[in-house]
Amino acid sequence: MSVQTERTDAARASDVQKTGAPPPRDVVSRGRRAGGKSAPYLLLLPALLATAVLLGWPLVKNGILSFQNLNPRQLILHLTEWNGIDNYKEVLGGSDFWKVVGRSIVFTGANVVLIMVLGTLIGLLLARLGRRMRLWLLLGLVLAWAMPVIAATTVYQWLFAQRFGVINWVLDKLGWHSMADHNWLATQFSTFSVVTLLIVWQSIPFVAINLYAASTTIPKELYEAASLDGAGGWKSFTSVTFPFLRPFLWATTFLEVIWVFKSFAQLFALNQGGPNRLTETLPVYAFVEGVGNQHFGMGAAISFLTILILLALTAYYLRTVIKQEEDEL
């Protein structure tokens, strides 16, 4: 059947060349379908190539480095010393790594909960504000979101500085004189509190704007039907708003988990993982062990394990999304 069809198409094409008549519609539609199937892959090809070059190759080099004993001596002498999985054995067999993993999970969970709760509330507030107030609030959110990470961290260092910090000065003027010379980076809890405030402040705009954009797509007829059924504000939220926004909340939560889990600049620039390395998360721990202590193979192993954790989270998210789509079908 396919051979006969191909011969027919060839004969029609030959007739077109002889007579100059336009090709039949079935030939044109078949050609469009063939081109349509390959078009998405062609459009994705530049992005895939850029990802392979900019992310794939460094990832491969990092994986190779994690199986090497690379210290200043090997760098100076240009030596390549393979030690197999010794770096992974040392990392996984030590208690420091698991302490950092637990600390990273708690730190990520606390930040994501605050980000999602506050971001969702502000996003819902944007949907209820007037046009002028919404514009000003959106402007403030975009400015906070657009500020570079290092610039924002520098501002927070100035705000919470021990001697000339704005926060200490305000607390002193309000009568809390014991806080006039308070060191906010002296303990683990206070350092994490400052970093959490910084990360939450930077992340809320992304969540709020996403949720506001999603809320504008909810049909107003659903709210009208809910009000006719006697639903109040909370009932309308639980029966209309939340079910409609659930996919957006799930996707945004997943993105925030990844963004907070791999945050490095805020923690390192603020206090270099101190005091006494008590605020090191996995990215900071990998940098300190690899570059700070010049155990480059060890740092590569820690960073590769961090990537595996993020890949596991991604696989769990994709599995959940696919399962939800199958349940809806």
- Domain with 127 in it: what CATH number? 1.10.3720.10
Distance CA 2, CA 13 (A): 16
**Nearest to 247, CA basis, from 295, 154, 317, 174:** 317
Q: Does residue 259 have a pLDDT over 60?
A: yes
pLDDT tens digits for 146-194? 999 999 999 999 999 988 889 999 998 888 888 888 899 999 999 999 9
Q: Do the Cβ atoms of 108 and 257 come closer than 8 Å? A: yes
Q: How many domains does the chain contain in total? A: 2
pLDDT grade for 246, boundaries at 50, 70 and 90? confident
Same domain, 199 and 304: yes
pLDDT tens digits for 200-222? 999 999 999 999 988 888 888 88
Same domain, 130 and 21: no
Last residue of a domain, one of 65, 92, 109: 65
Q: Tokens 């639903």 sit at which residue?
A: 231
Same domain, 54 and 140: no
pLDDT tens digits for 277-315? 899 999 999 999 888 888 899 999 999 999 898 888 888
Same domain, 277 and 169: yes
Residues ≥6 apart with Cβ < 8 Å to 12: 23, 24, 27
Same domain, 44 and 82: no
Same domain, 131 and 90: yes
Same domain, 268 and 122: yes
Distance CA 94, CA 100 (A): 11
Q: Do the Cβ atoms of 50 and 72 come closer than 8 Å? A: no
Same domain, 156 and 284: yes
Same domain, 46 and 142: no
Same domain, 33 and 173: no
Same domain, 208 and 100: yes
Please give the pLDDT value at position 199: 95
pLDDT grade for 251, boundaries at 50, 70 and 90? confident
Expressed as residue numbers, the domain containing 294 is: 72-328
Distance CA 19, CA 228 (A): 67
DSSP state of 70: -
**Nearest to 188, CA basis, from 266, 105, 271, 111:** 271
Please give the pLDDT value at position 1: 44
Say whether 276 sits in a helix, a strand or coil: coil
pLDDT tens digits for 29-43? 555 555 567 888 888
Over range 73-84, report the average pLDDT: 83
Please, what is the average pLDDT of the chain?
84
Last residue of a domain, one of 28, 44, 65: 65
Q: Which residues of 4-25 are buried (b: 16+ CB within 10 A; e: fewer)?
A: eeeeebeeeeeeeeeeeeeeee
pLDDT tens digits for 129-146? 888 999 999 999 999 989
pLDDT tens digits for 2-15? 444 444 554 554 55
Q: Does residue 230 have a pLDDT over 90?
A: no
Q: Does residue 27 have a pLDDT over 80?
A: no
